[in-house]
Structure 1
């Protein structure tokens, strides 16, 4: 409550920020310890700061501790094996100081953690940070680890536009039948989330699948599967069959006849090129 004649006096903002920053990963007065990453690095923090800045941590710390004598008693270390130490430290930096130091090598992982912890401002910062570089870094990450990436929750949560950008890459390290199955799984997840038909949510991405790369046997199996679980437009499958019938790539757009880095060789690939 402000009284007549009162005034707000502000101290040195830089000194205050530096004092709070000094608490990041500082064991002094820390009351929670995290064991982070495969390296099992210890990271020290303060529950009051994390809880007031992040609802995810507030919920975590509100859970009763069986061995604790009082609510704020020190607890056993919390293991976070799925996140890299430098990424978690970046999250802490943001929670303590409302700013974060990013580079292109960790921006994607910070973005993932920001989504996981519900930190919308940090998510926006990670996306905004040299957005073109971030997109390129994300794509390189997917290209280098395609088989692992398509099995993750993050892949299933991609937007249709983002998935189209990924599927246009020639450097995906995965064979086309496996990629088609990954897109099918993505489509079913998106269909459930958006409450729209599978074929509708997948309309854009499926047109980036390179069906002419499939052998006749694989294409026939795909066509049979597609009758039970409609995903791919009939005309796309027809274009692929046309390539086989004509023994050349003129039955489909040229980009769909281009082998990816992970494409396994098939007898007919020679006449697609």
Structure 2
């Protein structure tokens, strides 16, 4: 008779060789002599060697290909090897360091994700077809996104989006938008981080162009000024700048200041903090003072974005109709609807509380009256489909 073995013990014995197998696969990854494919990474075309058989077992970009094909990777330049030389795949929009981490995961399943490289890793997983790795990257971003790393994530996502945009880049675009939305809702805290000061000019413009920054316009200007001073290496207050320091700061603010809605800044702040920097064109300064003198005239120019206060997504929390990220909402820009509702109410910064959602209460009239009667003021918001159907 055989001896009954406990399931856990049996399982451990069947896996006893796994650690050795993983070590062998790691050594195989480092063996250039047996490699039959070489990836040339980045503009410097740094070579990284690999084995097509393992790539075909793990990555869909190497599966289901026609005879004579090597792989199907967006943006890659592929050449078959001749005379026993390995096949060549050029990936100019990926770095050598992150690609090596990617291959370690392909060969061994081991992964070390870093905030600065997670979006590039996500792009590799998407384009080479390794779904489990892509999901791990998404979970890493979603679970760790916070004030302290939001701008680090943004910088990485923006860099990845810039490199992958010519080849699609939808995955990077999705998380670029996610980072910007998070920073917008936590703007004041994110503006104080060192990683915010280290953003590229293009990434900074993405942030301060958002309609959903949850801060007053004065704080947007102060954040842009702090960023420019950091880039220019200027630490003194504006009043103590030398002409050369002012020139450096203004150079960095060029192309940035136009995205700050200067016409909305308080007159005293504008005179004491904005104008002394020398970064605002004289024409805009004159327009700002005309606005202060004739506010009603400018309030009629509702189509002028410079006169439109930014709208925080938290003004209507819980709304699936007005929420920018809701798949059930219509259109892309919900700021106009939020703005109109608050203009009707008379306070552009008014925040509201969701008390009733019809779909969550089986569209019950009784539930509507039970939850809403006696509460004032209220808005009842209904989404109406405007699609036309004809025979």
TM range, normalised to the smaller chain? 0.5 to 0.7
Alignment of 1:82-231 (within 5 A): 82-129=93-140, 132-133=143-144, 139-141=150-152, 143-144=154-155, 153-154=170-171, 156-158=173-175, 164-170=181-187, 171=191, 173-174=204-205, 178-180=209-211, 208=212, 213=217, 214=261, 215=263, 219-222=302-305, 231=334
- SS of the equivalent of 1:33 reads strand
Residue 158 of structure 2 contacts residue 176 of structure 2 at CA under 8 Å; is this kept in 1? no
Give the total of aligned pairs.
209
- TM-score (structure 2 length as normaliser): 0.41
SS at match of 2:205: coil
The DSSP-based 3-state class of the residue aligned with 1:82 is coil
Match of 1:188 in 2: none
Q: Is the 8 A contact 2:180 2:207 kept in 1?
A: no
1:52 pairs with one of 43, 49, 57? 57
Tell me which moved more, 25-34 or 114-123.
114-123
Tell me, what secondary structure is at the counterpart of 1:105? helix
Separation in 1, partners of 2:215, 2:344:
9
- The separation in 1 between residues aligned to 2:67 and 2:182, in whole angstroms, is 41
C-alpha change, 1:136 and 1:35, in structure 2 (3 Å) is: farther
Bigger drift between 157-166 and 29-38 goes to 157-166
Flag structure 1 segments of 5+ consecutive residues without an equivalent: 1-7, 181-207, 224-228, 244-249, 255-273
Larger mean CA deviation between 14-23 and 164-173 belongs to: 164-173
CA contact 1:36–1:43 (8 Å) conserved in 2: yes
Check conservation: 2:122, 2:134, Cα contact below 8 A: yes
| 1:19 Cα offset (Å) | 0.9
Cα shift at 1:124: 3.4
Shift of 1:121: 1.8
Cα distance, 1:253 vs structure 2: 5.1
- Report the equivalent of 2:287: none
Q: 1:22 to 1:142 in 2, by over 3 A?
A: closer
Please give the residue correspondences for 1:251-266 in structure 2 after superposition, counting only pairs within 5 Å: 251-252=348-349
Partner of 1:263: none
Cα displacement (A) at 1:232: 3.2
Are 1:107 and 1:134, in contact at CA under 8 Å, matched by a contact in 2?
no
Identify if the C-alpha distance between structure 1 residues 154 and 137 changes in structure 2 by more than 3 Å, giving closer, same or farther. farther
Cα distance change, pair 24–131 in 1 and its aligned pair in 2 (3 A): farther
Per-residue CA shift, 1:10-35, capped at 9, x if unaligned? 77332222111101243121000000
Q: Check 1:102–1:46 CA distance in 2 against 1; reply closer, same or farther (3 A cut).
A: same
CA-to-partner distance for each residue in 1:29-76, whole Å, 9 max, x for gaps?
Answer: 100000012332110000011011111133568553798599x96454
TM-score of the pair, normalised by structure 1:
0.56
* Counterpart contact for 1:211–1:219, Cα < 8 Å: no
Q: Which structure is larger by alpha-carbon Rg, 1 or 2?
A: 2
User: Structure 1 residues 179 and 38 mapped into 2: Cα distance closer, same or farther (>3 Å)?
Assistant: farther
Q: Give 1:129 deviation, angstroms.
A: 4.9
Alignment of 1:58-97 (within 5 A): 58=63, 63-64=68-69, 74-97=85-108
Cα distance change on mapping 1:168 and 1:84 into 2, 3 Å: same
Aligned to 1:19: 24
Gaps of 5+ in 2: 1-12, 71-77, 197-203, 218-260, 264-297, 307-331, 352-391
1:112 is displaced (CA, Å) by 3.1
Note the C-alpha offset of 1:146: 8.7
Q: Give 2:43's match in structure 1, choosing from 38, 56, 63.
A: 38
Asked whether the equivalents of residues 31 and 47 of structure 1 are also in contact (C-alpha less than 8 Å), the reply is: yes
